[in-house]
Amino acid sequence: MYSSDQVAQAVEHFWSTRLKQEKKQGSKSGVKDAGNRSAVTGGSQLDGFIQLLATILENTGLPDHVIFTKKTVLPGYFRPTKSWDLVVVVDGELLATIEFKSHVGPSFGNNFNNRVEEALGSATDFLTAYREGAFKPSKKPWLGWLMLLEDSDRSRTSVRVAEPHFQVIEEFRGSSYTKRYELFCEKLVRERFYDATCLLVSDRKNGLNGAYSEPNQEINFRNFVTSLSAYAIAFVKMRET
C-alpha cells in the first residue's frame, strides 16, 4: 500500500520546503514577515503528503485523471464554495475529499482554536451540502483530515485552562496541545464529522531527516490510508460489476 519511507519523505519535504521559504522570504525585500508567517504563506509544504495519498488512490485502481490535487473548489451550504486539497471525482460522482493541515509554533493557543473551528466548520458545511443534494448523484463521499504538528517543548507542555464559570471536561485539564490534537482527531471521527483523521508529530531538526511519531494509534497514518483505500477499492469494484 505504502512504506514508512514514503511518509518520512513527505515529512522531510514539509520541513525542507518550510526552511527554504523562511530563508527566501525577505531575501529580495530585506524584510521578513513577522513570526512564522513567511513559511505559512509560502504554501506547498504538505505537497508530499498530497502526492503520496494521490499515489495510494491510483493503486486502488482509480485513474490519475480523476484525482485532483490543486485546490479544487466544491460547493458548500453555508458558503458558496470551499477549496479542498485533494478531491476525487469519477464521472460526475464525488468519491473523496481530504484536507491537509500543519501547525508549527511558537504560537499554539489561538492557532489551535482556529484549526478546531476550521475543521468543524468545513465538515459541517460539507456534510450539510451533501445532505441537501449538492453532490448528486454521489453517495456519501469519504471525508478526511490530516494534521502535521510540530513536536516542541511548547506543544508537549501542560497548559492551564480558564474556568471562570464552569469546569472544563476533565480530559482537557492540564493537557498539552499535542494531547488536545489527539482528543480532537478522535472526536472528529467518533462524532462522524470525518471518516478518518490522522495526527503526525515531528520536530523541525529531526524532521529534516524524515523523523516523525504517531502519538495515538487510533488516528495514525495506516488507519487513515486503510479507511480511504477500502472505500476507493469498493467503489472501483462496484463500477466493474
Q: Give me the pLDDT at residue 239, please.
A: 85
Q: Give me the pLDDT at residue 27, please.
A: 55
Segment 33-67, tens digit of pLDDT: 444 433 333 359 999 999 999 999 999 999 999 99
Which segments of the chain does DSSP mark as H helices, in order?
4-24, 37-40, 47-58, 109-131, 153-156, 177-190, 221-240
Can you tell me whether residue 118 is helix, strand or coil? Answer: helix
For residue 109, pLDDT beyond 60: yes
Q: Rounded distance, CA 11 to CA 27, Å?
A: 25
Q: Rounded distance, CA 32 to CA 51, Å?
A: 29
Q: Give me the pLDDT at residue 24, please.
A: 85
- Is the Cβ–Cβ distance between 33 and 26 less than 8 Å? yes
Segment 94-105, tens digit of pLDDT: 999 999 999 998
Segment 170-191, tens digit of pLDDT: 999 999 999 999 999 999 999 9
For residue 110, pLDDT beyond 80: yes
- Is the Cβ–Cβ distance between 146 and 196 less than 8 Å? no
Sign of CA dihedral 213, 216, 221, 226: positive
Mean pLDDT of 148-171: 94
